[in-house]
Amino acid sequence: MAKDWKAFISSLEARPEERRFGPPASLGDVGRIEAALCVTLPEDLRSLLLQSDGVEGIYGLGLVWSCARIVNDNVKFRTYPDFRDLYMPFEPLLFFGDAGNGDQFAYTICGGRVRPDICVWNHEDDSRSWKAPNLGRYFEWTFAGKLKV
């Protein structure tokens, strides 16, 4: 049985009124991510999106983006011509959320497989740093103030 992401996330927040869940994404929405980006989503992200098409934190922070934004932002980062001269390739990353300061959270892609680990891409120095072993810990450590960017 899939995790009840709304209950899990709500249990972690000191002020759950500052968090917003989207309506559930459809299987077609999730399939569009996988088709557009040539990946199979990790089960934790897939199950969360099927319960809530995005999760916003305080001040509209994109803790997990909607399916449409996941596709749009990843395609933009992978195809924008100027980025090729500025940054390392983005194909090994699956962006899904942001830190509100320009940095973005992503899964890593290795050998065509999306790993469960979460990293952060630093927009200033193009570094990519490990932050959590999975989406559940990402939320736990974010709300506990342990996930620093």
Q: What is the pLDDT of residue 1?
A: 56
As a whole number, the mean pLDDT across the chain is 93
Tell me how many degrees the CA angle 103-24-2 measures, rounded to the nearest 5.
Answer: 90
Q: Is the pLDDT of residue 48 over 90?
A: yes
Q: How confident is the model at residue 13 (pLDDT cuts 50, 70, 90)?
A: confident
Instruction: Give per-residue burial for 85-113: e unless 16+ CB within 10 Å, then b.
Output: eeeeebeebbbbbbbeeeebbbbbbeeee
pTM for the predicted model, two decimal places? 0.93
- The arrangement of strands across the sheet holding 20-21 comes to 20-21, 55-56, 62-64
Span 49-66, average pLDDT: 94
Q: What is the pLDDT of residue 72?
A: 98
Domains of the chain plus CATH, in order, are 5-143 (3.40.1580.10)
Of 18, 6, 10, 20, the C-alpha closest to 55 is 20
Span 89-113, average pLDDT: 93
Q: What is the pLDDT of residue 113?
A: 84
Q: How far is the first Cα of the chain from the last one, in angstroms, to the nearest whole number?
A: 33
Q: What is the pLDDT of residues 112-131, one digit of tens each?
A: 789 999 999 999 999 999 99
130 by Cβ neighbours in 10 Å (0-12 / 13-18 / 19+) ranks as exposed
% of the chain surpassing 90 pLDDT? 79
Q: Count Cβ atoms below 10 Å from residue 27 Cβ, excluding itself.
A: 11
Q: What is the pLDDT of residue 17?
A: 73
Does residue 122 contact residue 149 with C-beta atoms inside 8 Å? yes
Least confident of 91-100, 108-117, 131-140: 108-117
Q: Which residue in this structure is represented by tokens 């990946």?
A: 39
